[in-house]
Structure 1
Amino acid sequence: MLGPDRRQPAWQRRALQSSGSSVGQFSLHPAPAGWCCANHDHALDLSLETDRQGAAVHEAGHTTAAFVTGIDVTEVVLTPEQTQHPCDPTAGVSGITGVSRIAVPVGDYLTMLAAGEVAHQRWLRDSGLSTPARAWAVELGAMDDVGKAVNRLREWVPGYEETGCRQLFWRYRPAAAELVDARWESVRAVVGGLAGLPNPPEPAAPRD
């Protein structure tokens, strides 16, 4: 089982502000100034096909980590989405990597979850697309993974507060980064397989 980084992570408490709402969470990246709404696709500001590549890398990070740790992958799905917000519509691609939780050590499961965002961030850097706003948006886009980790940790450590679960989860980030870097060619190979799937159609314009 892959182990956590026992050092205290360099957390910064950041309030992620949107127009009319506030999402308080631990974030490794500062929220961009003046972002318009709670949708991270606005901050990403990427074409649908480029966002699809990023989503494929994210899911490939999960999948590669699952293979390495012996977790059974049941499905990988990429879905184009368009959402209407008060400020503007957004288009992007979301992804899901389904895994079996039968006899999965907690540390391996947490490392697998963290590997998605870690791979996504590396892809941004390697592609010359990384900006502070996009790094933040990719982290925000991985909140579903954080939620899964928190739920698993609450089963493992009943009564543990959500903040403590988030901090414990992100102590597995260094192990995920080490795995992704060591298996980067495998991640790229999985991305190639996902890229071979039919391209998603352009989302239809939202109805009034």
Structure 2
Amino acid sequence: MAPEKMLVRYADVLCDVCTFQILNDGWGRRFDDLKRGDFRRCGACSYRARTIVEKHGSAGLVVEQPLKWLSEEDQREYAAVHEAAHAIVGTDAGFLLRDLAVGTQESTAGGISLTAGGLTRWEMKGVTVNTADYATYLVAGMRANLRWLADRGWDTHANRMDVAYGGFGDVVNLEDAVDGRLDMRAVMRDANRTVDARIEKRWPHITAVAQRLITHGRVDADEFRSVVDAVDRRTVPDPRPAQGPSKPSNPSSIAPISGGTAMSTLAEQARTALSLANEKATYVQGALQQAGLDIDDIIAQLAQVTTDAETVQQASGIYQQAKADLEQLQSLINSAVDTTQQYAGVL
């Protein structure tokens, strides 16, 4: 029997440097070939792919569609949360909402045809938007999806890469808006920081809109505002003075809408904290990997200096020692990540 192709996820194949760049800069145009399962652009990714094939004796690799492991119901909720976050953050910035929908949608981003799980549309004719607000709006869907995964204990490294993949269209739109005028990594970092705080504050609104979207498939601007206002009325404290002991609340009247359960237990808080720590660790791992490659280049450049000058030899030796120290640091970081992931798995 001829060997079959092996099913893998992006996290299995992508090298540390590409992973670092995708999680920091977004899955933009320069990683479009990876979306097609073509890893030849990066030597390290190609090597990892070949190693997997040789180890398992397979005929090749097939990259699994991101988030395929989610049930159909969860995929719909995931998409609804993504679009609801866009709608909430966009309207907070003053954008004029037309409607939002969940379900297979054909769209384009930067001239690239895409198939998405949902769509949010705006009345933007004649409206001027600053880059910071636009960036925050575009990353809102991805960041809300990370929050949604974390609430369920599913915020793993492999799943974060799937979320980044799903944000391809948003990142391409942001790249077009930035158009090389600003550092993309700085734009993404600032937008993520801003929107994370916004999502934390507006999570009840996001989940309420998502639930309505799941139920109806499409929500127009009037219905959106009605849902948001209803959440505001439910969460505004009663200004009247207390009249003796209050009666127990009816849980059914204040329970968070499905998909928006707040972090109410220590275990959930711990999982979220560990997830955020490991996300930062992924950045550190990628940065260290990139630093190691840069040091190798420096050593190679010094080796081309045709002189026996002691200064050059000494510098080369220092860089080689730095590379050894860097590898030791990488090992420590990897060990710490493994430990926290194992602990998160038993919470």
TM-score (norm 2): 0.42
Per the TM alignment, residue 52 of structure 1 is displaced from its structure 2 partner at its CA by: 0.6
1:49-90 C-alpha deviation (Å, 9 max, x unpaired): 111101100111111101211111222122248xxxxxxxxx
Per the TM alignment, residue 177 of structure 1 is displaced from its structure 2 partner at its CA by: 0.6
State percent identity of aligned pairs: 25
Match status 1:172 vs 2:191? yes
- Which residues in structure 2 correspond to 1:58-97 (within 5 Å)? 58-80=82-104, 94-97=117-120
Secondary structure of 2:62's aligned partner: coil
Equivalent-residue separation in structure 2 for 1:151 and 1:19 (angstroms):
21
- 1:100 is matched with which residue? 123
- 1:119 is matched with which residue? 144
- 2:154 is matched with which residue? 129
Answer 1 or 2: which has greater helix percent.
2
Q: Which amino acid aligns with 1:78?
A: V
Per the TM alignment, residue 123 of structure 1 is displaced from its structure 2 partner at its CA by: 0.5
Q: Where does structure 2 lack aligned partners over 5 or more consecutive residues?
A: 1-18, 23-30, 43-50, 53-60, 106-114, 219-347
1:112-170 C-alpha deviation (Å, 9 max, x unpaired): 1111111111001112332221121011101111011111112xxxx548xx3354234
TM-score (norm 1): 0.67
Q: Is the contact made by 2:95 and 2:122 (CA closer than 8 Å) also made in structure 1?
A: yes
Answer 1 or 2: which has greater strand percent.
1
1:13-54 C-alpha deviation (Å, 9 max, x unpaired): 3689678502879xxxxxxx9673273244xx1111111101
Equivalent-residue separation in structure 2 for 1:24 and 1:160 (angstroms):
25
**Alpha-carbon spacing, 1:170–1:98, altered in 2? closer, same or farther (3 Å):** farther
Extract structure 1 runs of 4+ deviating beyond 6 A: none
1:164-198 C-alpha deviation (Å, 9 max, x unpaired): 33542343110011111111111111112102215
**Alpha-carbon spacing, 1:198–1:115, altered in 2? closer, same or farther (3 Å):** closer
Per the TM alignment, residue 94 of structure 1 is displaced from its structure 2 partner at its CA by: 1.0
Q: Which amino acid aligns with 2:155?
A: S
**Alpha-carbon spacing, 1:192–1:13, altered in 2? closer, same or farther (3 Å):** closer
**Alpha-carbon spacing, 1:150–1:100, altered in 2? closer, same or farther (3 Å):** farther
Q: Is the contact made by 1:18 and 1:38 (CA closer than 8 Å) also made in structure 2?
A: no
- 1:46 is matched with which residue? 70
Rg larger in structure = 2
- 2:335 is matched with which residue? none
Secondary structure of 2:216's aligned partner: coil
**Alpha-carbon spacing, 1:23–1:193, altered in 2? closer, same or farther (3 Å):** farther
Size of the aligned set, in residue pairs, is 166
